[in-house]
Amino acid sequence: MVMDPDYLPFHPNPSKPTFKVPAGAVDAHCHVFGPADRFPYAPERKYTPCDAPKEKLFALRDHLGFSRNVIVQASCHGKDNRALVDALLSSNDMARGVAIVNPDISEAELKDMDKAGVRAVRFNFVKRLVDATPKDVFLGVAEKIKKLGWHIVVYFEAQDLEELIPFLNQLPGIIVVDHMGRPDVTKGVDHEDFQRFIQLMEDNPNIWVKVSCPERLTVQGPTYDDVVPFARTLVEKFQDRVLWGTDWPHPNMKSHTPDEGVLVDVIPKIATSAAAQKALLIDNPMKLYWD
């Protein structure tokens, strides 16, 4: 399985961040890919990445000063969660997972995944990544996972939010939105699109958000200052419902190869007090994934 010709592999030698993360910090959005000879990519995938195995992820965690990972199933592995579960089982209880599952998954399979450390399912609405799934199917999955106390992670782009709001409000339990709902940062924080997202979080206390992925949302590039006001606004308004992640190994980046040291150095710009940093990096992810 050869990676796509325009696929950018992850940074071979990320810098040490200047910001020292507090002890016990959680990288709450990252992935493992392959290795493909052991864990092949899904036939229905829309891209073929560079292998990004668990050993590399755990080495990056240590290099950046983090303690734990939340590993999110990505579309290139489809609903085959074996690479994810393998990483969880070899993490010494230092990783939790977000899976993508079939609607007909059995209770026994869900229980096995729970034992391995899976705590959520992911619903992906990004059209370039997945074929559409009917909302009824997602609602069926949501019903199934309720008993386990899992939550739901949703990935969508800003232009699709308006249409999705009734569905999001229908979902039971906690919902975590990936990458701030992918705002167009050129429009500014005050634009109705981002304000719509803020209003949704104000109206629905079950909605949490990952203030992640400046590398995808930026127009200016590193050090991602054009994305900072969006993330800072969310941290200031919803301190107890925000999560942060590296997004390693950054699938489908086209503009540049992110240096995770630089990404970590964005944290003190978006969470400007020690209390906000502790909530973002420790208290919130621990409550959601390790309690």
Taking CA atoms, 3 is separated from 26, 137, 165, 250, in Å, by 29, 31, 36, 14
Q: Position of tokens 């906690």?
A: 174
Total residues interacting with ligand 0GY, rule: CB under 6 A: 12
* Shorter beta-carbon distance to ligand 0GY: residue 69 or 252: 252
Interface with ligand 0GY, residue 129, by CB under 6 A: yes
Among 64, 76, 85, 235, binds ligand 0GY (CB under 6 A): 76
Nearer to ligand 0GY among residue 117 and residue 258 (C-beta): 258
98 closest CA partner among 80, 119, 114, 116: 119
Residue 246: closest CA among 113, 103, 123, 69:
69
User: Which entry of 247, 265, 283, 291 is annotated as an active-site residue?
Assistant: 247
**178 or 265, CB closer to ligand 0GY?**
178
Q: Does residue 4 have an active-site annotation?
A: no
Query: From its phi and psi, is residue 18 left (phi > 0), alpha (psi between -120 and 50) or beta?
Result: alpha
Q: Does 53 bind ligand 0GY (CB under 6 A)?
A: no
Which one of the spans 85-93, 187-195, 244-252, 278-286 is the region binding ligand 0GY (CB under 6 A)?
244-252
Smallest distance from ligand 0GY to CB 157, Å: 9
Mapped onto helix, strand or coil, the DSSP state of residue 121 is: strand
Backbone φ and ψ of 45, nearest 5° = -65, 155
Please select the residue that binds ligand 0GY; options are 51, 68, 75, 121, rule is CB under 6 A: 75
Strand partners, 97: 71, 118
Token code pair at residue 251: 């699938």
Query: Does residue 74 interact with ligand 0GY by CB under 6 A?
Result: yes
Residues near ligand 0GY, by CB under 6 A: 31, 74-76, 124, 129, 155, 178, 216, 247, 251-252
Catalytically annotated residues: 247
